[in-house]
Amino acid sequence: MIFQKDILHVLGHKIHPGESAEISFDVANLHTSSSVDVPVFIERSKRPGPTVLFTAGIHGDEVNGVEIVRQIIAKGLNKPKRGSIICIPVINIFGFINLKREFPDGRDLNRVFPGNDNGSLASQVAYKLIHEVIPSVDYVFDFHTGGAGRFNAPQIRIMKDDRELDNLARAFGAPFVMYSKNLSKSFRFTCSKLGIPMLLFEGGKSIHIDQNVTNTGVNGAKRVLFYLDMLNAKFKVSPPKKPCVFILETRWQRANYSGMFRPALDLMGTKVKKGDIIGNITDPYGKFNDYVKAESSGYIINVNESPIVYQGDAIFHITRKLKRDL
């Protein structure tokens, strides 16, 4: 792969080596006619190297990812010793304003890629991102969180059987790496079709900022920039406390009853054995109490934190088959 063209062409702007730029990603005004400017931060070294894109906020309620990219900028991690770094902290600004997952028209931005310049508002945003930003990019790191009250343990999601993605994920150093297929019309699917490696980070839950998750995301960004020989020498990199767990297969455990749900404490990311009590479901009247037992052994990588569940609701995501990390 050939890195670093003399000039980056991003959203109609030209950025030369050694330059910094803050440009606007704008598609449409609010219904009040007020303009909405989504800032895009670009930092370029004079030394040639790859171009890395950090993104968050594809879903407007996933504020934890926004906080990670904000910290990358605020700490100066986005100023590379070689190559270029582009940061877009909030792609779906329309959803972010109202802390809603979707666009005002109800569309999920992460299901309309590569977009259409004459399509829906979400489709136009996707089109502009793919055609006016992505052509300049060599790697993408996209930050997400769990939805619908479900808290994800910090994890990287990648396609299976891709050595480059395996190496990037290992360098990032999240506690878990889960192999998952690229969803059709998603940002990750489109980047894969274009031959651009992407790590998708998941951690925490919507409308919530968790310090452990943000620290994991920021430290992972530092490690992966160090791996790419782009991290400024003033930053120190520490290895993850534990080796990454590579996950081949998982299973959702579902509620057997409707009621008030309480997971056991400190389960996130822990390994449980089949039969362990991992929560309980009760009625509001003190007449019923069902102890939820693990249906299989494995790591718990997602917990439903909703206080009310219905029979059949997904309440725990548990690993079933792991890959031996070589």
Q: How many CB atoms lie within 10 A of CB 288?
A: 12
CA distance 97 to 91: 11
Give the model's pLDDT for residue 118: 95
Angle at Cα 201 formed by Cα 247 and Cα 18, nearest 5°? Answer: 135
252-320: same fold as 8-227?
no
Give the tens place of pLDDT for each residue, 178-193.
999 999 999 999 999 9
Three-state SS letters, 244-282: CEEEEEEEEEECCCCEEEEECCCCCCCEECCCCEEEEEE
DSSP 8-state code for residue 111: G
CA distances from 44 to 5, 16, 21 (A): 11, 7, 9
State yes or no: pLDDT of 326 exceeds 50.
Answer: no
Q: How many CB atoms lie within 10 A of CB 36?
A: 15
Q: Are 147 and 125 in contact (CB under 8 A)?
A: no
Give the tens place of pLDDT for each residue, 256-288.
999 999 999 889 999 999 999 999 999 999 999
Angle at Cα 222 formed by Cα 155 and Cα 245, nearest 5°? Answer: 30
Give the tens place of pLDDT for each residue, 61-97.
999 999 999 999 999 999 999 999 999 999 999 999 9
Sequence spans of domains, the chain: 8-227, 252-320
Give the model's pLDDT for residue 269: 95
Grade residue 2 by pLDDT with cuts at 50, 70 and 90: very low
CA distance 281 to 292: 7
Angle at Cα 301 formed by Cα 203 and Cα 314, nearest 5°? Answer: 100
Query: Hey, what are 149's tokens?
Result: 């009250």
Q: Give the three-state DSSP class for 42.
A: strand
Average pLDDT over residues 143-158: 94
Give the model's pLDDT for residue 265: 87
CATH class of 8-227: alpha beta
CATH class of 252-320: mainly beta
Kindly calculate the radius of gyration of the chain based on its CA atoms and give it in whole angstroms: 21
User: Nearest-CA neighbor of 242 among 177, 299, 173?
Assistant: 173
Grade residue 149 by pLDDT with cuts at 50, 70 and 90: confident
Minimum mean pLDDT range among 31-35, 207-211, 290-294: 31-35
Half-sphere exposure of 151 (CA within 13 A, CB side): 17
Q: What is the pTM of this model?
A: 0.95
